[in-house]
Amino acid sequence: MTINLLGLGRQELTAYCATLGEKPFRAKQLLHWMHQSGAADFGVMTDISKVLRERLCVEAAIAGPTVVQDTVAGDGTRKWLMDVGTGNAIETVFIPETHRGTLCISSQAGCALECSFCATGRQGFNRNLSVGEIIGQLWWANKCLGAYASINKGDARIISNVVMMGMGEPLANFDNVVGAMQLMLDDDAYGLSRRRVTLSTSGLVPAMDRLRDTCPVALAVSLHAPNDALRNELVPINKKYPIRELLAACVRYIEKAPRDFVTFEYVLLDGVNDSVAQARELVETVKSVSCKINLIPFNPFPDSGYARSKPDAVSRFRDVLVRAELVATTRKTRGDDIAAACGQLAGQVQDKTRRAERRNQRHATDAGIQESDVEVLP
């Protein structure tokens, strides 16, 4: 069975080269070829001996993701649907802006946390992605966008920022996500700064502490509510790690973070969490944490049960935060015409949690239909 070198970090690649009787500098060469030149063919690696290249062709591979759909929105946002096997497909999104390009990467096929306003959570959960599948999204996007040529010429990066905000909860796939981020940060791979790699979490407190000590990148926290009662409904993991514990973890994280603040993401849902009173409560809730608030108008998806907050409600909410001297921004919705906006990523998930089945049964019960009358697909 061949080994996919795309998913090996520096230490693993060095160890692999040692098994071939090669010195550590070979790992550095391979990192350069794969991640700085986008090579998928050992034959083009001209500074590596012919004997080694021939052996690698037999024993190893550089296998990126298989793209099954490539869609471009009217605003230039680009979304790739990538096959990860056994009927599962993930989504990766590139968001071009005037002075930067941001790639939104998935970490799981589906998500087990079931935040109520998120399309990914509705799909259920199948499995964690491997290091190769995570870093492969960046590898492919660079190839597709012609970014490797720009990097080698010393031009400005086409992909300047990476956000772990796609499908899945990154900290629930801790080891593989950290392995992929370490490749993003490695100067012999992608060479991104810690400030330009952002991980978004729903609040897995112990894993936040591990990340702080292992690979502290920029941190975004999906808050979405000013109190535990509402957050329990919107972000169920709050029942295990309530806001008080979450905020304490944020304060600890900042001690080693590349930025002196944490970003709190707050999706605005019409009539649910967008009142002036809730804005004032939010000010009191986060006052102990050096933070920036990123307000995100809800991006609808079928049968979500929620609506986007009205523009005047968004403005009133933000004004309360600004008057309290909090840094608050409103995220511009990008890619919603191709379901590539925040909270809309769904892909294709063979749900092992049977979440959709249970939801159908609940809806049927609410409608007065017997469970035996509901057809459940295997």
The residues annotated with a catalytic role in the active site are: 91, 342
Q: Which residue has the tokens 């009358």?
A: 373
- Rounded to whole angstroms, what are the CA distances from 129 to 54, 92, 142, 157, 192? 29, 13, 19, 26, 21
- Nearest-angstrom CA–CA distance, 319 and 20: 62
The encoded tokens of residue 11 equal 């230490």
Task: Give 327's strand partners.
Answer: 292
- Rounded to whole angstroms, what are the CA distances from 317 to 221, 267, 348? 19, 12, 35
Beta pairing class for 101-104 and 88-96: antiparallel
Cβ pair 286, 326 in contact under 8 A: yes
Cβ pair 62, 4 in contact under 8 A: yes
DSSP assignment of 313-364, as one string? HHHHHHHHHHHTT-EEEEPPP-SGGGT-STT----B---SS-HHHHHHHHHH
Please name the amino acid found at residue 49: S
The encoded tokens of residue 67 equal 């793209």
